[in-house]
């Protein structure tokens, strides 16, 4: 891993090709979701290594907290994978508002994703830690390849 992978320079004019993996800053998220985010980061590095001769751009996956992400507008146009539920991750809480009301007593895995990969924001969480881990596993298995292909070929960052 290069110095830029560990300490990427960030500023309003920075064009580092970051792919952000956002976890909550809640203590429960630090203990449970951050390790999942690092596993996801490793899966992304593995994918990059497998496909590097076909990539026209670099992809730098970086794990960061929801507070850092929310408070730095320049990060919000970058491709983003959010890990952890609305109870421990403010970004998940924000995006969960778009979901229909459901019975929270029911155990479930939620993967909010644009299947066309036009919007490169993904939210992964479960109603408990085991289901969040299952959600990350399902994302890697079923969606990671398509998502990273879209990230690698993205011409312009998304603008809200």
Please state the domain extents for the chain: 16-153
Rounded Cα–Cα distance for residues 30 and 74 (Å): 24
Residue 54 confidence (pLDDT) above 60: yes
| pTM, 2 dp | 0.84
Q: What angle do CA 95, 61, 151 make, to 5 degrees?
A: 70
Architecture of domain 16-153: 2-Layer Sandwich (3.30)
Phi first, then psi, for residue 79 (nearest 5°) are -55, 140
Phi first, then psi, for residue 61 (nearest 5°) are -75, 130
Tokens coding 26 = 């809640």
- Say which range, 37-41, 50-54, 64-68, has the weakest mean pLDDT: 50-54
If you average pLDDT over residues 86-103, what whole number do you get?
79
Distance of alpha carbon 70 from the chain centroid: 13
């Amino acid at each position: 891993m290069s110095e830029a992978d560990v300490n990427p320079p960030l500023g309003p004019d920075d064009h580092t090709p970051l792919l952000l993996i956002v976890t909550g800053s809640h203590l429960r998220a630090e203990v449970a979701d951050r390790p999942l985010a690092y596993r996801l980061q490793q899966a992304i590095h593995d994918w990059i290594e497998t496909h590097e001769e076909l990539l026209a751009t670099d992809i730098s996956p970086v794990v960061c907290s929801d507070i850092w992400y929310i408070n730095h507008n320049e990060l919000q146009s970058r491709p983003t994978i959010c890990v952890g539920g609305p109870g421990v991750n403010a970004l998940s809480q924000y995006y969960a508002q778009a979901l229909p009301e459901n019975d929270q007593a029911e155990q479930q895995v939620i993967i909010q994703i644009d299947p066309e990969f036009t919007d490169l924001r993904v939210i992964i969480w479960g109603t408990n830690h085991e289901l969040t881990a299952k959600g990350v596993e399902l994302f890697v298995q079923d969606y990671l390849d398509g998502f990273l292909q879209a990230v690698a070929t993205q011409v312009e960052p998304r603008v809200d």
